[in-house]
Structure 1
Amino acid sequence: MSAFGSVDWQWQNATAGALAGLATVTFSHPLDVVRTRFQVNDGRISNLPTYKNTPHALFTIARTEGFRGLYAGFYPAVLGSTISWGLYFFFYSKAKQRYLRNREELSPGLHLASAAEAGALVCFCTNPIWLVKTRLQLQTPQHQTRPYSGLYDALRTILKEEGWRALYKGLVPGLFLVTHGAIQFTAYEELRKVFIDFKSEENEKKSGKGDNLLDSIDYATMGASSKLAAILMTYPFQVVRARLQQRPSAGGIPRYMDSWHVVKETVRFEGLRGFYKGITANLLKNVPAASVTFIVYENVLNMLKFARRND
């Protein structure tokens, strides 16, 4: 493959990833709002309502805050998801191509390294966007401080009141969350091999051909399974990050000073369960979303491949 063709292929991956992320966030955002509010509610916060469970949270937010409440932080979520997926697939495919030099295929370890490398780069690029999204989602009628009016106002206010370093609150657990993408993509790639081998054997038995293609049901199954494994293993890092990214009090005092402070306080007051608050909403949001993401990604990629061959 030429250098031009290699770059072209990387941008095709980025395009497919960005469209996949945009499709995912559009229908799942209310669950993201619920998840964030559960994650930070340690029972000692006065400006957050108490919800019994995910359905009760959705109903309460819709009743008291309306559509605006259910889609709080939607614009930074769309921006962050689109940029993150696009960059993730771009960096991931670029890393895989680099590791594939002088190799016929990548080992699970190299798939893991590719995903981890992509995740770390994306984390540095997008942390300010996710911080703003979290803060917008946590704005409720009970808030005492002046609310942010949107993405731009939030960024301007944070820079003015807290300085640029505040935009990178939660970066440390965010970097640990790189393992989430690494686990998910490694599991996806290994499942893909299993599915292809299985379908190849089935096709050979039926028609003597092994040139089958995976379909959308396969992509959905692989996407959901790999996402479930990643969530169960890395969810506590999400809770720590969300708690660090909360807006400081009116006096400018943050609720938690650093990641270790979050861990100590959570263990002390909530135990192990505190690190899995909001996981139901997270599973409902992300497992089906992962299926949709990989269906869109794989099918867009197949269309781009087809168009490229016909140029």
Structure 2
Amino acid sequence: MSSSGERKPSRDNGTIPPYMKAVSGSLGGTMEACCLQPIDVIKTRLQLDKMGAYKGIAHCGRTVARTEGVRALWKGLTPFATHLTLKYTLRMGSNALFQGAFKDPSTGKISNQGRLMSGFGAGVLEALAIVTPFEVVKIRLQQQKGLSPELLRYKGPIHCSRTIIREEGVLGLWAGAAPTVMRNGTNQAAMFTAKNAFDVILWKKHEGDGKVLQPWQSMISGFLAGTAGPFCTGPFDVVKTRLMAQNRQGGQLKYKGMVHAIRTIYAEEGLRALWKGLLPRLMRIPPGQAIMWAVADQVIGLYERRFLHDAPL
């Protein structure tokens, strides 16, 4: 408590516990998944399209809806929503823990380098623990084409998981782990650092200061913070999708690993192929971050206002 008797803590002492960050991420991830699943389906189909069957985002969406029904645009929603909810729970919670470890003990502040390292660590954790196995199942389901369920190889998320484990072993659920780690680590390092910077620059919002951003303010900061990642990590995302989609049915695997996949795609399809699906990623990731942060910031802001500033120290 200050000498003047004020109850309000300084912004550096206003620490939000990791569990609240985890809760806010969970709620934000659920909302994001429900809104943006069709864009993810289109992105996956474009990345797997080696023959040029789809002429672009709109043509791909129309083709899927016409030939497989509108519901096909939400294929893989169950694993996608579950994976996003768990991913954001782990991402937000672990990032808060890492930031706590990297804070200067004398000032309570964290440097930009500490934010980058915290974000990268959170991205690596989510990639290995949650993202890779869930995306393997999601991509296997999304790549299936057709209207007749009895003709589909995978009948649902559980059946898909069991089939992969039976035919490819447990490690089959971690196909594409290396590019996923690189993609998510880089993405989160940039995203958390950029989000904090935009909050400060645009809205003068510092963590723990008790200020609750309006949802539209959070959406602008989240959208801007989510734009850099897709450009930087495009090749990792394409390679991840190719590695996750392939299976041993009918012979040897075409891609032996991340580096081999990059070389093969470049040799067979050209440099631009390593950024296939970039536009739908830009249509999904920045809006997804906008939606997620609009929800998460409200939860975190209400906690700050009620427990860090209304309660006596």
Q: TM-score, normalised by structure 2?
A: 0.86
Give, in whole Å, the separation in 2 of the partners of 1:103 and 1:67.
54
Paired residues of 2:212 and 2:302 also in contact (CA < 8 A): no
Q: Note if 1:78 corresponds to 2:78.
A: no
SS state at 1:52 partner = coil
Per-residue deviation at 1:102? 2.9
Matches within 5 A, 1:245-284: 245-248=244-247, 250-284=249-283
Identify if the C-alpha distance between structure 1 residues 252 and 26 changes in structure 2 by more than 3 Å, giving closer, same or farther: farther
Per-residue deviation at 1:279? 1.3
Q: Which residue matches 1:183?
A: 190
Matches within 5 A, 1:35-184: 35-43=43-51, 50-100=53-103, 101-126=105-130, 127-141=132-146, 147-177=153-183, 178-184=185-191
Give, in whole Å, the separation in 2 of the partners of 1:158 and 1:183.
33
Deviation per residue, 1:37-56 (Å, 9 max, x gap): 1112233xxxxx81111011
Give, in whole Å, the separation in 2 of the partners of 1:108 and 1:8.
19
Deviation per residue, 1:264-308 (Å, 9 max, x gap): 111112222101111111111222221111111101112233453
- Kindly provide the amino acid, as one letter, of the partner of residue 189 in structure 2: A
Per-residue deviation at 1:214? 3.4
Paired residues of 1:108 and 1:190 also in contact (CA < 8 A): no
Give, in whole Å, the separation in 2 of the partners of 1:267 and 1:287.
27
SS state at 1:16 partner = helix
Paired residues of 1:14 and 1:85 also in contact (CA < 8 A): yes
Structure 1 unaligned blocks of 5 or more: 44-48, 201-209
Give, in whole Å, the separation in 1 of the partners of 2:66 and 2:256.
34
Give, in whole Å, the separation in 2 of the partners of 1:110 and 1:33.
35
Deviation per residue, 1:119-164 (Å, 9 max, x gap): 1111111111111011111111399x85111111111111111101
Total equivalences in the alignment: 292
Paired residues of 1:246 and 1:255 also in contact (CA < 8 A): no
Per-residue deviation at 1:7? 11
SS state at 1:85 partner = helix
Give, in whole Å, the separation in 1 of the partners of 2:21 and 2:35.
23
Q: TM-score, normalised by structure 1?
A: 0.86
Paired residues of 1:80 and 1:129 also in contact (CA < 8 A): yes
The percent of aligned pairs where both chains have the same amino acid is: 27
- Kindly provide the amino acid, as one letter, of the partner of residue 62 in structure 1: A
Per-residue deviation at 1:211? 8.4
Identify if the C-alpha distance between structure 1 residues 187 and 74 changes in structure 2 by more than 3 Å, giving closer, same or farther: same
SS state at 2:281 partner = helix
